Structure 1
Amino acid sequence: MVAKIEHKLRSECPIACALDVIGDHWSLLVIRNLMFLGIHEYKDMLKMEEQISSSILTNRLMRLQRDGLIASLPHPESRRRKLYYLTAKGIDLIYMMTELVVWSNKHMGDWVNIPKHKKELIEQDPDRLIQITLEELDAWERQFIPEKSV
């Protein structure tokens, strides 16, 4: 098996370097779960319709943490469980993620399922969708991250 060589070791292209961090669809789906769906637990991510395997999910969560896009904290109900959340670096992907949704809605509308209220925002005011999502992320952080509630 050939070892993966990261683009940043052989290219200064910003797209190639970004793909080293978020270039597989599982990583983007984990980010989607945290960003748009409010899914913060491992067990709930395993239940998603894409059917990610536990080993791949574990790997992606570790990689995203290593790369500083997500972090975790102990679950308030059980120290054995964790809550995952986006860091500021991960939240900065909201613009790219929203554009992917806009593109998919435009070019793959027959195949994608977007909740009606979000579909209207995507088609009429994507910036408002971003604003609402950022507010939801902030509210979650104030609820679960002690230093954010101050």
Structure 2
Amino acid sequence: MDYHNYGCPIRFAAGVLGDRWSLVILRDLMFKNRKYYGDFLSAGEGISTNILANRLLKLETESVIQKTLDPDHGKRYIYSLTDKGVALLPVLLSMMEWAAEFDDQTEMPKKFIKKLQEDPESLSAEVLAHLHS
């Protein structure tokens, strides 16, 4: 049963984003310039091939990401964010700001945290410009 279409905004978002792997894939697309299946697999997160394939398909089915054939390598696909995926930027930035405050072991660069806390609009504009380039 598809529970994320039943009116509650949190249930809807949880149904689309639902687990850590989906969020990690979105992070990688948005902030780490990863775009190939192999990029996600070799990112050091420890995701298995079947889980990765499943989450990519789910995000694609939900129209959060899209998959296009790589014109330079006919057997390889490029994954990218759709407008619906790009619209999650403020959500991910808010999650990162929250984690920067409460995660003693955060791996976010201090420069990024400072910009996130002091000038989030500028940071958001930079990320958006990069995503649209």
Query: TM-score scaled to structure 1, two decimals?
Result: 0.84
Summarize deviations over 1:46-84 as a string: whole Å, max 9, x none: 011211111111011111111100001111321111110
How far apart, CA to CA, are the structure 2 residues paired with 1:28 and 1:112?
A: 16
| Residue pairs, 1:94-133, within 5 angstroms | 94-108=89-103, 110-133=104-127
What is the RMSD of the two structures over their aligned residues, measured on CA atoms? 1.3
Which structure is higher in RCO with an 8 Å CA cutoff and minimum separation 6? 2
- In structure 2, stretches of 5+ residues that fail to align are none
Work out whether 1:73 is the aligned partner of 2:80.
no
How far apart, CA to CA, are the structure 1 residues paired with 2:31 and 2:69?
A: 21
% identical aligned pairs: 33
Work out whether 1:30 is the aligned partner of 2:29.
no
| Residue pairs, 1:10-49, within 5 angstroms | 11-49=6-44
How far apart, CA to CA, are the structure 1 residues paired with 2:44 and 2:106?
A: 13
Match of 1:87 among 76, 82, 85: 82
Does the CA-based 8 Å contact 2:4-2:14 persist in structure 1? Answer: no
Work out whether 1:60 is the aligned partner of 2:55.
yes
How far apart, CA to CA, are the structure 2 residues paired with 1:97 and 1:24?
A: 14
